[in-house]
Amino acid sequence: MMRFFIVIVFFVVGCKNKAAVFLENVDEVKLYSYPSRMMWDTINGRSNGELKFEKGKLTFDKTKVIDSLILNKDQKRKAFDVLLDTKCEEEGSIAACYEPRHLFTFYKENKIVGYYEVCLECGGWKSTKELDKLPMFCIEKGEVMKELFKTFKLKYIEE
C-alpha cells in the first residue's frame, strides 16, 4: 500500500507543469504597462524596444513605462490562474499584430528570474525559457486579463 502511495505522489508531482512550479516558487511579481513596444523600434531611427534578458538582468527602455505594480498574493493567484488556464489549447485564437503592452517580471530572492510579455489584443506572448511551457496565451485570455488589470487598478490597459 505504501509503495502505491509513493508511486501516486511521484506521478502527480512529476506531471506538474515545470512553468507552474516556477510560478509557485517566485517571491515577487511586477507588472509593467507601456505603449506598444513594437513602436519603440522606430523612435529616432534606432532599435531601442528590445527586451534583453542576460545573466539574470532584464533590460528595456523603462522611460516608456506608464504604470507598474507589484502584485499582492491575491493578484498573483488571479494572474497565475489566467496564465495556467488551458482553454486556449482547445478554442483559442491568435492574431498577427503582436503589439505588446504588458510585461510580468518574476523575482526570487530579489533577483529577476524570468519574464512574460503579452499582447492582450492579439494573444501573442514572449517569455524566458522557464515559462515557455505555460499553456498558450490567446485573445480570449487577453480579454480576461484586461478585466483583471482593471481590478488591479492598472492605469494603462489598452490604446
Total domains, the chain: 1
Give the tens place of pLDDT for each residue, 99-156. 899 999 999 999 999 999 999 999 999 999 989 889 999 999 999 999 999 999 998 7
- The reply to whether 98 falls in a domain is yes
Which strand (E) or helix (H) includes residue 109? Answer: none
Q: Residue 3 falls within a domain, yes or no?
A: no
Distances (CA, A) of 62 to 31, 76, 103: 12, 22, 11
Cell of 64: 516608456
**Domain assignment of residue 94, yes or no:** yes
| pTM of the predicted protein model | 0.83
Residue 28 lies in a domain: yes
Q: Is residue 40 part of a domain?
A: yes
The answer on pLDDT for 7 being more than 50 is no
Residue-wise pLDDT for 46-58, tens only, equals 445 678 888 888 9
Q: If pLDDT is split at 50, 70 and 90, which confidence band does 16 have?
A: low
Higher pLDDT, 132 or 30: 30
Residue 5 counted as domain residue: no
Q: What is the pLDDT of residues 61-94, one digit of tens each?
A: 888 899 999 999 999 999 999 999 998 887 778 7
Domain that residue 84 falls in: 17-151
Whether 146 is covered by a domain: the verdict is: yes
Main-chain dihedrals φ then ψ at residue 135, nearest 5 degrees: -55, 150
Q: Does the residue 159 lie in any domain?
A: no
Q: Is 3 exposed, middle or buried (0-12, 13-18, 19+ CB in 10 A)?
A: exposed
